[in-house]
């Protein structure tokens, strides 16, 4: 399975997980300039920008460790672009990371709320 398809599968798992928790999914794969946010959602009155990382092995560390300080800055810029493009003036938002590790074919989800 290629990396892009595996990433899409992880995002689908994350969307299902978030919807079961009561989040309203606003958009998947929002692109702004050269960057992308995997999921934009609402948790009650708060906008949530979600980065999804999935791994099938521990060879490269934990999935959430791939969300570096550089990535934080990039996601903040993209989130600002989302707010601007959608004429959203409120500033009630947060950034979550959903980490998915596979135990065989079974996904194990770790949801880091307000990760940065």
Residues 84-114: pLDDT tens digits? 999 998 788 999 999 999 988 899 999 999 9
Beta bridge partners of 97: 51, 112
Domains along the chain with CATH numbers = 3-112 (3.40.1350.10)
Task: Report, as an integer, the average pLDDT of 22-48.
Answer: 97
**Any residues with CB less than 8 A from the CB of 28 and at least 6 apart, and which?**
11, 15, 38, 39, 40
Is 83 exposed, middle or buried (CB count within 10 Å of its CB: 0-12, 13-18, 19+)? middle
**For 19-23, what is the mean pLDDT?**
98
- What was the pLDDT predicted at 60? 85
From residue 80, alpha-carbon distances to 16, 87, 89, 92, 112 in Å are 25, 10, 10, 12, 21
Question: Cα separation of 80 and 56, whole Å?
Answer: 32
pTM higher than 0.85 for the full model?
A: yes
Residues 6+ apart with CB under 8 A from 4: none
């Amino acid at each position: 399975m290629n990396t892009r398809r595996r990433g899409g599968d992880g995002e689908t798992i994350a969307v299902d997980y978030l919807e079961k928790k009561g989040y309203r999914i606003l958009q998947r794969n929002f692109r702004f300039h050269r960057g992308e946010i995997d999921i934009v959602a609402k948790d009650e009155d708060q906008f949530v920008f979600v980065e999804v990382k999935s791994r099938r092995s521990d060879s490269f560390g934990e999935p959430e460790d791939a969300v570096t300080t550089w990535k934080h800055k990039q996601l903040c810029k993209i989130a600002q672009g989302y707010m601007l493009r959608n004429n959203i003036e409120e500033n009630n938002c947060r950034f979550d990371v959903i980490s998915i590790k596979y135990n065989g074919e079974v996904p194990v989800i770790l949801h880091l709320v307000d990760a940065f």
